[in-house]
Amino acid sequence: MAVILAITGGVVLLFLITALRGAPYVPTHRSSLSILFDELLPVSEKDLVVDIGSGDGVVLRAAAQRGARALGYELNPVLVGISKALSIRYGMRVTIRFADFWLVEFPPETTVVYTFGETRDIVRMYQKVANEAVRLQKTIHFVSYAFTIDGVTPIRSKHAMNVYRVSPSSSSLQGE
């Protein structure tokens, strides 16, 4: 019994630490991903979708089902393991990294960055994507689920999905 309590306490502590550093684990609804990838921003084999805070990998698998490659960054090692196990059938199209996205550079092939962020960090996330667009010298679509960015107008929105176009010239918060 003590071992089970210790393991449970350790897992709860991991989730708490992750939530304090980033957003808590809340998976995106599959129906919302259909709206995103089938209506608002269809993806194909030409796309690399980066999920910042990828959780159990549901976004990564939805992108891979549509032919895109997908890369997830996740701080919680338990969720990294779950995501890798659930995504194994997608082979090289889905990659999950145990990493803090604040500290990484996005790959040059990045076309879409997805987040189910939260109010506390959404502006910083947008700014991170803007900085990466400048560094890569390319436009990146930034998708925010459930949260909008004050002062920036999405190019498309439906239900909780907000799609922003971040160009190399939009290195600070401004409407597109």
Q: Domain spans of the chain?
A: 2-166
The confidence score (pLDDT) of residue 174 equals 47
CATH code for the part of the protein at 2-166? 3.40.50.150
In total, the chain counts a number of residues equal to 176
Nearby residues of 158 by Cβ (< 8 Å), 6 or more positions away = 35, 39, 40
- pLDDT (tens digit, 9 = 90+) per residue, 119-158? 789 999 999 999 999 999 999 999 999 999 999 999 999 9
Average pLDDT for 1-15: 51
| DSSP string across the chain | -HHHHHHHHHHHHHHHHHHHHS----PPPHHHHHIIIIIIS---TT-EEEEET-TTSHHHHHHHHTT-EEEEEES-HHHHHHHHHHHGGGGGGEEEEES-GGG-PPPTT--EEEE---TTTHHHHHHHHHHHHHHHTS-EEEEEES---TT---SEEETTEEEEEE-TT--SS---
- pLDDT (tens digit, 9 = 90+) per residue, 64-103? 999 999 999 999 999 999 999 999 999 999 999 999 999 9
Residue 170: pLDDT band with limits 50, 70, 90: low
- The total of other beta-carbon atoms located within 10 Å of residue 123's CB is 16
Residue 175: pLDDT band with limits 50, 70, 90: very low
The confidence score (pLDDT) of residue 5 equals 47
The confidence score (pLDDT) of residue 9 equals 46
